[in-house]
Amino acid sequence: MSRGFLKEIARNARYRWHMWMATAVKHLVVDGNNVGRAWGDTGKLWRKDADAARAIVVERSRIWHDAMGWRVSVVFDGRGSELGVSMPTGESTLVVAYSPVGVTADSIIEQWVSNSRSATDCVVVTADRALRDTVSAMGAETIGSRAYREWIERAEQTTQRGLARMRDRNL
């Protein structure tokens, strides 16, 4: 890939960041296995301890949830005979789901986007081209795994700056 192409991708991701931040609450749907394997640190960990890598993906997604106030669903591939859903923080706006064995997380994500009130309110995080094409055709936005990691880092920095300002005001 040329540097110009990569710069354009980065510029587009920043533009979408600003556009999405100015809009109403979105539903972020994360392809957990895809994202976990795509990030360098969790990708290496995935081969040794997939549960620990999954926990990191969920924790980082929680940062986005808490900082931006979006509904966040992290969907992982197959565990058990039925769809498994948990709310790690007790909030219904942060959900971790496991597809049933034999059903892919991609299928669950496609169903959730298709059944949402408005697919245009969904942002799907994945590097899987087939999933991106499918949910985009339904009206959802998509973002790649690396860009999502940058979003999380930016949201965390914004939160830290906000906390520092509040702390400074109270001194």
Q: Please give the residue range of the domain that contains residue 98.
A: 3-170
Specify the CATH number for the domain of residue 143: 3.40.50
pLDDT tens for residues 102-151?
A: 999 999 999 999 999 999 999 999 999 999 999 999 999 999 999 999 98
Q: Could you give the angle at the alpha carbon of 69 between the alpha carbons of 63 and 75, nearest 5°?
A: 60
Low-confidence ranges of the chain (pLDDT < 50): 1-10, 15, 17-22
Nearest to 147 by CA among 122, 121, 127: 127
Residues 35 and 41: their CA atoms lie apart, in Å, by: 11
pLDDT at position 18 is 47
Number of separate domains in the chain: 1
